[in-house]
Chain A
Amino acid sequence: MRAFRRSIDVTPGLGRSFVAMGDGLTAAISISRAAVGPPSFFRQVGAILWKDLAVELRTKDILSSMLVFGLIVLVIFNFAFELRGENLILVAPGVLWVAFVFAGILGLGRSMAQEKERSSMEGLLLCPVDRGAIFVAKMLGNLIFIVILEAITLPIFAAFFNLPVLTPGVGLIVVLGTLGFASVGTLFAAIAINTRAREVMLPILLFPIIVPVIIASVKATAFVLDGKPWAEIWPWVNLLIAFDVIFLAVCFVTFEYVIGE
């Protein structure tokens, strides 16, 4: 009886993994169709990125969960901090970034869980694909999803708390902060997915590392909202740029060892 039930439990998983192999193969075919011999790095990145975007367009799995969660965080913080009056400008940038980071970490985890559940990462690894291309594509996918989340959350945030956050300055800081977050996040999501207690591991690994991103983004956003001159904001923006450059390189190089074998 028990064996029978187990066979039922296993079958849908099997079916799903066949579908996933299909996903991987589609990406592989679109890569190999391009030319004889190994396709160029950017073509590989494009194919894998397109696979992620196409899956998301059909399921809306990652974006919907991130969006709802981000909104809930904003509402909860409104009650937790009494976001009105004089402390608003002090607390609001922190609230905004915590909402981004919490919702973002959800998206990072989901995006890698999809690869795992449907074994499409295995499919990708079987293809003649550069490991670095997989990293760049996954990172760009995560970056796009989180930036879409931010683009929707920012106007809602502006309306909820009546703050002028829809400026090019805030946009620049948001994109730079998210780039650093997404690059380290993609690397660690690939690690966390293969550990025990994977849901807990991702934030435990990621949060201490991105402390500089959080400090710099919150400070820079607060300065912009406060109308401070750009001379004071630049050190923080430079810090974000430095973080992005260093960790894009470090994560690009080390990703190979994370997904290897």
Chain B
Amino acid sequence: MSAVSGKGGVPTRKGDNLVNILGFVSFLLIAASMYMGLVFAPEEAVQGPAQRIFYVHLPQAVGSYIAFFLVFLGSIFYLWKGDVKWDVLARSSAEVGVLLTSLVLITGSIWAKPIWNTWWTWEPRLTFTLVLWMIYVAYLMLRWASEGKQGARYAAVLGIVGFFDVPIIFLSVFLWSKGLHPRPAGMDPGMLAALIVSIFAFLLLFTYILIQRWRWETSKEMVEEMKLKLGR
């Protein structure tokens, strides 16, 4: 497969097969979750077909929270231990998290148009997600605008400050305006099954993307190290 051979001192990429299997399984599970969400789950009584986007929307939101928590963990451990692998974890998670939050905002808007009759409203959860998105977009911009170990330290500081800000933002937007977000109460077993399958499928897919991103960043670090050794 795509495994790099060990010839000529080039390090071998271990675990390529496992990652490929993970990718294949998550592809199958995503296909299954699409079937579960679009066909298997019964139609919601009030919202009709529009509700089915929920099976994509919620797993993305869950995934983005996990990603931002990983940014926080990576940042703390990077400042503490100084090992570059923690920084790689933080920056890979931040990218995946921003991607997921963008998707959460987009799928939410698509749902809100038929149900709330508007693409956007300054409802607390929407506002919260938007501010969260801005913090981690700023994180990615900071990575772009700074370099090397200094850039990594800066990003780690933002990763920590941003995470501590999350509960305060949450509190402030909920004090600021009333919520209209639907709360799933008394869910049909078919819907619940579809939801569980799709959360599981998406989490597997995110893990796969994160691992690939992580491997890519690690390779980049290795290339940088080799360049330094060659004196360039």
- For the complex, is B169 an interface residue (Cβ under 8 Å from A)? yes
Interface 1/0 per residue, B135-153 and A, CB below 8 Å: 1001001101110011101
Q: Which residues of B contact A191 (CB under 8 A)?
A: 142, 146, 154, 157-158
- For the complex, is A77 an interface residue (Cβ under 8 Å from B)? no
Which residues 202-245 in A have Cβ within 8 Å of B in the complex?
204-205, 207-209, 211-212, 215-216, 219, 235-236, 239, 242-243
Q: Which residues of A contact B65 (CB under 8 A)?
A: none
Q: Are A194's CB and B168's CB within 8 A? A: no
Q: Which residues of A contact B150 (CB under 8 A)?
A: 194, 261
Q: Which residues of B contact A247 (CB under 8 A)?
A: 161, 164-165
Q: Which residues of A contact B153 (CB under 8 A)?
A: 257-258, 260
Q: Are B172's CB and A212's CB within 8 A? A: yes
- For the complex, is B176 an interface residue (Cβ under 8 Å from A)? yes
Q: Give min CB distance, B76 to chain A, whole Å.
A: 10
Residue of A nearest to B172 (CB): A212
Residue of A nearest to B153 (CB): A257
Q: Are B168's CB and A208's CB within 8 A? A: no
CA distance in complex: A219, B176 (Å): 8
Q: Which residues of B contact A260 (CB under 8 A)?
A: 153
Q: Are A211's CB and B138's CB within 8 A? A: no
Q: Are B162's CB and A209's CB within 8 A? A: yes
Count how many chain A residues have C-beta atoms less than 8 Å from C-beta atoms of the other chain.
32
CA distance in complex: A149, B168 (Å): 27
Residue of B nearest to A197 (CB): B145
CA distance in complex: A195, B145 (Å): 5
- For the complex, is A121 an interface residue (Cβ under 8 Å from B)? no
Q: Are A209's CB and B146's CB within 8 A? A: no
Interface 1/0 per residue, A82-116 and B, CB below 8 Å: 00000000000000000000000000000000000
Q: Give min CB distance, A234 to chain B, whole Å.
A: 11
CA distance in complex: A155, B79 (Å): 45
Dominant secondary structure at the A interface = helix
Which residues 161-182 in B have Cβ within 8 Å of A in the complex?
161-162, 164-165, 168-169, 171-173, 175-176
Q: Give min CB distance, B203 to chain A, whole Å.
A: 26
Count how many chain B residues have C-beta atoms less than 8 Å from C-beta atoms of the other chain.
30
Q: Are A257's CB and B131's CB within 8 A? A: no
CA distance in complex: A247, B164 (Å): 8
Q: Give min CB distance, A173 to chain B, whole Å.
A: 14
- For the complex, is B71 an interface residue (Cβ under 8 Å from A)? no
Q: Are A211's CB and B131's CB within 8 A? A: yes
CA distance in complex: A187, B171 (Å): 23
Q: Which residues of B contact A184 (CB under 8 A)?
A: 161
Q: Are B172's CB and A239's CB within 8 A? A: yes
CA distance in complex: A139, B113 (Å): 45
Q: Are A187's CB and B157's CB within 8 A? A: yes
Residue of B nearest to A255 (CB): B157
- For the complex, is A159 an interface residue (Cβ under 8 Å from B)? no
Interface 1/0 per residue, B70-113 and A, CB below 8 Å: 00000000010000000000000000000000000000000000
- For the complex, is B53 an interface residue (Cβ under 8 Å from A)? no
CA distance in complex: A173, B119 (Å): 35
- For the complex, is A246 an interface residue (Cβ under 8 Å from B)? yes
Q: Which residues of B contact A207 (CB under 8 A)?
A: 134
- For the complex, is B160 an interface residue (Cβ under 8 Å from A)? yes
Q: List 29 A-B contacts (CB under 8 A).
A: A191-B142, A191-B154, A191-B157, A194-B146, A195-B145, A195-B146, A195-B154, A196-B145, A196-B146, A204-B138, A204-B141, A205-B138, A205-B158, A207-B134, A209-B161, A212-B165, A212-B172, A215-B172, A216-B172, A219-B175, A219-B176, A239-B175, A246-B164, A246-B168, A254-B157, A254-B161, A257-B153, A257-B156, A260-B153
Closest 6 CB pairs of A and B: A212-B172, A208-B134, A195-B145, A196-B145, A208-B135, A254-B157
